[in-house]
Amino acid sequence: MDRDYWNRISKNYEREVLSVFDNDLQGVVEEKIAAAGVAYPRGRAVDVGCGIGRFTPLLSEMFCEVDACDFTSVGLKKAKARCRSKKNVRFYELDITKDSFPFEAVDFVFCVNVLIMPSLDSRMRAWWNVANQVESNGTLLLVVPSYESFQMEYYHRVLARIGDGESTGSAVKNCIDEKATAADMRMGVLQLDGVRTKHYLKDEVEAMVRARHFEIVEVRKVKYPPQGDSEFATWDWLVEARRN
Ligand X SMILES: C[S@@+](CC[C@H](N)C(=O)[O-])C[C@H]1O[C@@H](n2cnc3c(N)ncnc32)[C@H](O)[C@@H]1O
The verdict on 6 binding ligand X (CB under 6 A) reads yes
Nearest partner of 244 among 219, 209, 199, 201, judged by Cα: 209
The verdict on 71 binding ligand X (CB under 6 A) reads yes
In degrees, rounded to 5, the angle at the alpha carbon of residue 19 between the alpha carbons of residues 17 and 23 is 130
Which of 95, 166, 204, 206 is the binder for ligand X (CB under 6 A)?
95
The verdict on 97 binding ligand X (CB under 6 A) reads yes
Find residue 220's DSSP bridge partners: 238
With CB under 6 A as the rule, give the number of residues binding ligand X: 22
Q: Which is nearer to ligand X, 141 or 171 (CB)?
A: 141
What secondary structure does DSSP assign to 149-181, as a single string?
HHHHHHHHHHHHHHHTT--HHHHHHHHS-TT--
Shortest separation between residue 25's beta carbon and ligand X, angstroms:
15
- Give the per-residue contact string, 105-144, with ligand X (x = CB under 6 A; - = no): -------xxx--x--------x------------------
Residues 85, 18, 5, 98, CA torsion sign? positive
Q: Which chain residues interact with ligand X by CB under 6 A? A: 6, 17, 19-21, 49-51, 54-55, 70-72, 75, 95-97, 112-114, 117, 126
